[in-house]
Structure formats: C-alpha cells, structure tokens
Amino acid sequence: MRSKINVGLLAYGMSGKVFHAPFIAANEGFNFVAVTERSKKQAAEDYPNVISYGSVDELIDDESIDLIIINTPNYTHYEFAKKCLLAGKHILVEKPFTATTAQAAELFALAKQVGKKALVYQNRRFDSGFKITKQIIESGQLGKLTEVYFRFDRYRNEIGPKLFKEDSTFEASGLQYDLGPHLIDQAVALFGKPDRFYKVLACNRQESQVDDYFFIHLAYPNQLNVYLTATLLAADIPPAFVVNGSIGSFSKNHGDVQEAQLLKGMKPTDDGYGVEAQSDAGKLTLVTGPNERKVEVLTSPKGNYGELFEAVYQTIVNDVPYPITEEDIIAQLAILASI
C-alpha cells in the first residue's frame, strides 16, 4: 500500500483537464483533492469528489493538500510558487518555471529552506519521438554527432485568445516561452548546458505583439551544433527530429501522439495510449561501406507522461532524485531570458 500525496490543481482549463488531472487520477500514489475554478465549475463532471475552490488562496490554505500543481498563466508562476512554498506545500510548476534565472534560483533556495520540493513539469522528455531519438544518440550508432535539429511547429496565423501568451506586457509571453522550454529542455537533457548560444526571434503574424518564431543555435564541445526552431506559420510541418553523425543519420516526423489522444478523451490507462502509428516510425540510415547505406524503420517506444508523475511521487515520498534538475532549469532560463 503506497502512502498518498494529496494534490491540488490551480486551474482546470486545457492544461489541467488534459495534461494533469488524468495522470493524478491514474496514479495510486495521489489523491486528487481540490482544484481552483473561478467561474465555470467543470471539474466535478470528471471527478465528482474533487473540491472546487473559487480562488487560488483558498486552495493554498487547504491544510490537507501536500502538493500543488501550478498550471496558471506564465506570469503568475513565480508569485504562486512562492506562496505555495511558504504555505508548506510541495510544488510542480508548468513550463516555463519562471521568467528569469533569479526568480528560479530564489524559489529553489526557498524550497530547501522550508524542506519542500520545487519540481518542474517538462513532459516532453516523455514523448515517444524524444525517447527514440535519445536511444539512437546514446547507442553511438551514428558515430561522432555533427548536427542535431529539434523543431516544434504549428500553423496558427490568428492571434490566440490567451492574452498572457500574446500580449508583450505580460512577463514570459511569446512563442519562445511557450515552446522554447520544451525544445531547450530536450537538448539540455541530452547534451547538458551549451558552451554558448545564439538566438533569433521574429514576429510574423499580422498584428502580433510577441515573437511567433524562434531559432536557437546551441554550440557544444567537439564541434557539435544543436539547432532548435519553432514557428506558428508552418503550413507543411517538417520533421521534429533530425540527427546527423559521421556514419549515420536519424529522422523522425513528429514528437508524440499523447496530446492528440488526451484531447479526444483517451485516458492514460486505455489500450493504445501513447502508441504511435507505424506510419510515424523514425528512419535510421547507416553508412555500411563506400556508397552503401542500410536503412531501418524504427518504431518508437510508448510515450507516457505518467512517468513524470511517478517521478514526482518518488521524489517527494522516497527522495529519489528528480530527472529534471535545478541546473537544467537554470540553463534553460538563461537562454530564454537572454536578449
């Protein structure tokens, strides 16, 4: 019998309903106790026993809650994380953790001071596409790595309804703070902190106030170059992963199926969850001799964001090191916050 962690969720919009609540409910180590819903009360339709608070402060003041998931708009993360820690709660914070490295360092220090865990939700480490790419890189099959390309592209020409993403007056707005944490975290997870980096931001949609395109070049030892790109104006989505080495290459068309499945109502416990179609398999090309190539089609392992929640549980209950480290997050934010 596992000890239980009582969990509170600060919002029940798309993020709470799709990326958090199903995994809290599926893990027997968690009790989904409460959620904040300022206006629409929808959580009870999915989780009848969950308390719906009308404000963030009410949820934070609930003494029965051990862990609070902060999935509110980006600019609120620092304020709410600090409140939760001072109230004696563990925290799991959506990306971006904060807007600056100074804010992040302060929160990590405060967590140690109050004896709580400050953890960051970087779910894309548990995408099937990233998993297979990681396996290929770590296998050494490609030889000396020369260049790596990670992309996260969409086509959304209209200005979105979420002002905190589209209004430049809000802290941590724009595409680089929305999708950048995913791509940078994947690069840092594989290769660590870069020796140096170069960043380009652009604003291409009509009437947009924020960046809707970014390109980040990460330079590593041994002349390894990693290129991270995202845009909101890709009508034809290019491959999400391309890795070139001295004796081989690997490419993968897109990152994962979990988000699409969850949006359609699939549960993490359903058959087929996280399993990609064969048409989405990656391609491994190895040089076997002069003018000779061996091509393999590789099925990705199952994607599963539940692995992140299990890591959260093990870190809080058994003090197992969390896979997304404080150093990873500081390295990420140093790139995001740079001018």
Give pLDDT tens digits for 107-155: 999 999 999 999 999 999 999 999 999 999 999 999 999 999 999 999 9
Tell me, yes or no, whether 140 and 104 share the same domain: no
Q: What is the pLDDT of residue 1?
A: 61
Give residue 27's domain range.
5-121+307-314
pLDDT recorded at residue 254: 81
Tens of pLDDT, residue by residue over 188-206, are 999 999 999 999 999 999 9
- What's residue 165's pLDDT? 87
Same domain, 83 and 226: no
Do 117 and 133 belong together in one domain? no
Kindly state whether residues 187 and 293 are assigned to the same domain: yes
Does this model's pTM top 0.75? My answer is yes
| Residue 162 confidence class, pLDDT cut points 50, 70, 90 | confident
pLDDT tens by residue, 9-68:
999 999 999 999 999 999 999 999 999 998 888 999 999 999 999 999 999 999 999 999
Angle, CA of 262, 268 and 270, to the nearest 5°: 100
Task: State yes or no: pLDDT of 2 exceeds 80.
Answer: no
Work out how many domains the chain is built from and give that number.
2
Cis peptide, bond prior to residue 181, ω within 30 of zero: no
Residue 241: predicted pLDDT: 97
pLDDT tens-digit profile of 77-99?
Answer: 999 999 999 999 999 999 999 99
At residue 178 the predicted structure's pLDDT band, cuts being 50, 70 and 90, is very high
Average pLDDT over residues 309-319: 98
Of the candidates 225, 196, 200, the one whose C-alpha atom is nearest the C-alpha of residue 212 is 200
Q: Does residue 289 surpass a pLDDT of 70?
A: yes
Considering the chain, what percentage of its residues have pLDDT values greater than 70?
99
Does any domain span residue 322?
no
Give yes or no: residues 50 and 69 share one domain: yes
- Within a domain: 325: no
259 and 140, same domain (yes or no): yes
- Would residue 73 count as lying in a domain? yes
Q: What is the pLDDT of residue 104?
A: 98
- Average pLDDT rounded to a whole number, residues 269-273: 96
Give the pLDDT of residue 240. 96
Q: Are residues 158 and 293 in the same domain?
A: yes
212 and 269 belong to one structural domain? yes
- The whole-number pLDDT of residue 40 equals 84
pLDDT of residue 164: 84
Give the 3-state DSSP-derived string for the chain, with helices as H, strands as E and coil as C: CCCCEEEEECCCCHHHHHHHHHHHHHCCCEEEEEEECCCCCCHHHHCCCCEEECCHHHHHCCCCCCEEEECCCHHHHHHHHHHHHHCCCEEEEECCCCCCHHHHHHHHHHHHHHCCCEEEECHHHHCHHHHHHHHHHHHCCCCCEEEEEEEEECECCCCCCCHHHHCCCCCCCCHHHHCHHHHHHHHHHHHCCCCEEEEEEECCCCCCCCCCEEEEEEEEHHHEEEEEEEECECCCCCCCEEEEECCEEEEECCCCCHHHHHHCCCCCCCCCCCCCCHHHCEEEEEEEECCEEEEEEECCCCCCCHHHHHHHHHHHHHCCCCCCCHHHHHHHHHHHCCC
190 lies in the same domain as 86: no
The two beta strands, 248-252 and 118-121, are unpaired
The CATH number given to whatever domain includes residue 18 is 3.40.50.720
Residue 167's pLDDT band (cuts 50, 70, 90): confident
Percent above pLDDT 90 for the chain = 92
